[in-house]
Amino acid sequence: MVSNFMEKDGKRLHSITAALRGWFREESRDLSESSLSLFLCTFGDLITGVIIGLSSGKILLLPALILLIPPTIGMRGNIYATLGSRMGSYLHTGRLSPELKRNKILDDNILSSTALTLLTSIYVGFIASALARFMGFQVDFVTLTLISVISAILSAFLLLPVTILLAIITYKKGLDPDNFTAPIITLAGDFITLPLLFITTDIVFSTPSSWQIPTFIGLIGLTILLLSISYMRDEEAISREILIESTPILLMTGLLGLWAGQILGGRLEGFITMVGLFTLIPPFLEDGGAIGGIVAARLSSKLHMGVLEIGRIPQVAVLRNFFTMHVLGIFIFSLLGVFAYVINFTFGLSTPGLITLVTITLVAGQIMILILNLVSYYSSVIAFKFGLDPDNVVIPIITSFMDVAGTACLVFVLLLFGVI
């Protein structure tokens, strides 16, 4: 009898130990892959932040630009990180071969992503102009919209191939694309988008005003043409599904990005006084969006593969993922504070002290991760229950919501510490 109990206890203990080892291996792999991609994302976004700090003169010249920054970088992440997430799901489920060959799935995704890029950039530029006037900034809506659209077109030429190649290459190397596409595309989006935004500002201001309205009308016509082609393709075209599911979400998330811009615009004087704080904005927001993108992409893949049960309360496996993100956040946001201080000191940008800056990024980052974990889970579950593809709707919701929540968290903690 005693030996039977001991044998059962031994088997139970062995089962628990094996499960823990399996969980540890899985989470260690996810943590290491995510850490690498987020480290690159953080470092690259800091350079982008320095670009904002060094370009603060352009923001003073055209204060409405501060309104464009969060939605512009957010939309690139929304569209292209979502594209990367779809690529990951296609690869995981066998709908897409890891061989880089032209096929219907790629054609539909490229077409719809390009059409959405043009549509959202026109929308963001127009709404930003109206919001700028409401806030008392003097700006012409054609000028601001052209800056938004032209920078979007230029960045699309680079981001489309990068996204597709990244998903395929990581999959072929035996890595999980879900751990890489969102952070790296977020990084590429910021690294490419913000410099192009400031370069486009110079281009538009140097363009004769007589050219601006015809150019604006031509871009609207091109957008309508691409949207029509995407929608009018055959009944089973993936592009139509992407447009129908993504457009309302992207329009809503564009408003969220503009809300984040309004929060920054409302504290513009404080940021201008301590220019080094601009260095924090891109990496802080994009690290939050990238972490949310990782969580959402993993949940989406698990839902597509049928290994995640839908429930009001997250499963233990999901909670373990949440815990991993908090551990990851301690490393990433502490590193962000250190890097930001070193870069600000190197470039002579006014900045809070090292300990203060690290504490601010760490506290604000942990609050943000808590929010994004919950939003990621319930957004994925609700989308899946309503028959929507989480790849098309959840990442845009997460990244744009985190622009607002992340900006609010950062500004709140800066106010708490009396920095602005």
Residues 316-342: tens digit of each pLDDT: 777 877 888 888 888 888 888 888 888
Contact 393, 249 (CB under 8 A): yes
> At CA 305, angle to CA 302 and CA 311, rounded to 5?
50
Residues 53-70: tens digit of each pLDDT: 776 667 767 777 878 877
Provide, rounded to the nearest whole percent, the portion of the chain with pLDDT above 90: 3
236: confidence class by pLDDT, cuts 50, 70, 90: low
- CA distance to 102, 104, 106, 288, 364, per residue, from 95 (Å): 13, 11, 11, 30, 40
Distance (Å, rounded) from C-alpha 178 to C-alpha 304? 13
- Specify which of 58-62, 229-233, 376-380 reaches the highest per-range mean pLDDT: 376-380
Average pLDDT for 227-240: 70
- What pLDDT score does 362 carry? 93
Dihedral (CA of 145, 151, 157, 158) sign: negative
Average pLDDT for 178-206: 76
- 46-50, 200-204, 352-356, 413-417, range with the lowest pLDDT: 46-50
220: confidence class by pLDDT, cuts 50, 70, 90: confident
- What pLDDT score does 364 carry? 93
Residues 387-406: tens digit of each pLDDT: 777 666 676 677 677 778 88
Mean pLDDT for the chain overall: 76
Long-range pairs, 94-101, Cβ under 8 A, ≥24:
98/168, 98/171, 98/172, 100/164, 100/165, 100/168
Task: Give residue 139's Cα distance to chain centre.
Answer: 27
- CA distance to 128, 242, 313, per residue, from 302 (Å): 37, 20, 16
pLDDT of 374 above 80 = yes
- What pLDDT score does 37 carry? 62
Residues 267-287: tens digit of each pLDDT: 666 676 777 787 788 778 777
Q: What secondary structure letter does DSSP report for 178? A: G
Distance (Å, rounded) from C-alpha 179 to C-alpha 29? 10
pLDDT of 107 above 80 = no
Between residues 230 and 225, which one has the greater pLDDT?
A: 225
31: confidence class by pLDDT, cuts 50, 70, 90: low
